Structure 1
Amino acid sequence: MSANSPESPQRVDVVLLKAGRTKIRYEAELLTDDGTRISVRAPWAGEGVRDFGFVRFEPGDVFTEHFWRDRWYAVKEVRSSDGTLKGWYCDITRPATLNGAELVVEDLDLDLWVSADGTDVLRLDEDEFEESGLRERDQGAASAATAALDELDALAHRFSTDAPHWPPIS
């Protein structure tokens, strides 16, 4: 189901929670919601430039983000202001919920970066995940999070060698 018409795109607030608190909130255009996957588009919502060393997020970048109600991750395609694909930033999260015009996702600290050509696949923030205490507080969520990271990592490595479909948005 398409969530918008050309005349009036539907807007949602994406709310990213971390450790029970709002980490960031930003407005996005709702592209689709098929009942399982919710896709939105938004400009870079951070302040200024964020240089990770392997990629720079900066004003003008556009993120097309895919969230699932039944998966423990979100996949965010990142393009520069001129439309050049930078790659995909994947957040390990609890499954998303859409309540009215608010899309809520809880960040579980683990991340994965996949470069545009698939040659760089980087697991990120595993130390933060271990320090978060999630394993002690919620073993089920911790297991789901690490399994999601392993799944995305395997998919990304297949992409970089065999070029199947990436990102895994179906």
Structure 2
Amino acid sequence: MSTRSAEPGPILTVALVKAGRTKIRYPAEQVGDDGTRITVRAPWAAPGVRDFGFVRFEPGDVFTEHYWRDRWYAVKEVRTAAGQLKGWYCDITRPAVPRGAELLVEDLDLDLWVSADGTSVLRLDEDEFEESGLADSDPLAAQAAVRALDELDHLARTDGLAGLLG
């Protein structure tokens, strides 16, 4: 992956879709693409504050987002506007699909949160995943999603996510 230079990278539109509908679209600066992993940086894109209880995403937060063309997840490093690491929010997704200046990512409901110090690893939205019906409509994708969540959970609890992103 290329390193960040003083020149801003190209702007991509990240399109996050869920169950066939666009959940959110936002511009992000591409900071790397090694042919397998695409890395972008973007400010918190949703309006206002989102308080999950274990972390708050708010205006000014910066997300460095890592998407893979061959993996069933995305890992998003979350920092405050001042640069303090909040942690990593991991989305279980189908492999990312670049389409010109757009990066298409299909959210499969499962998520993982890893706190900045690594002491808190939370599996999220497993109930939503069960209710989505993916296990019936696309059992191979459902199995890949569960394997991806298990893989990230294991990495977070053993080596941390830094090795994955390094």
Q: Do Structure 1 and Structure 2 share a fold, with TM-score over 0.5? A: yes
Q: So what's the TM-score if we normalise by structure 1? A: 0.93
Aligned to 1:107: 107
Q: So what's the TM-score if we normalise by structure 2? A: 0.95
Gaps of 5+ in 2: none
Residues 135-144 or 5-14, more deviating: 5-14
1:138 aligns with 2:134: no
1:87 aligns with 2:83: no
| Aligned alpha-carbon RMSD (Å) | 1.6
Counterpart CA distance in 1 for 2:36 and 2:65 is 14
> Per-residue displacement from partner, 1:117-160 (whole Å, max 9, x unpaired)?
0000000000000000000000000000000000000111113x
Aligned to 1:155: 155
> Per-residue displacement from partner, 1:34-71 (whole Å, max 9, x unpaired)?
11000000000011000000000000000000000000
Cα distance change on mapping 1:125 and 1:58 into 2, 3 Å: same
Counterpart CA distance in 1 for 2:9 and 2:102 is 15
Counterpart CA distance in 1 for 2:161 and 2:114 is 13
In the alignment, residue 27 of structure 1 is paired with which amino acid?
P
In the alignment, residue 65 of structure 2 is paired with which amino acid?
E
Aligned to 1:49: 49
What is the aligned length?
166
What's the % identity of the aligned pairs?
72
Aligned to 1:19: 19
Aligned to 2:35: 35
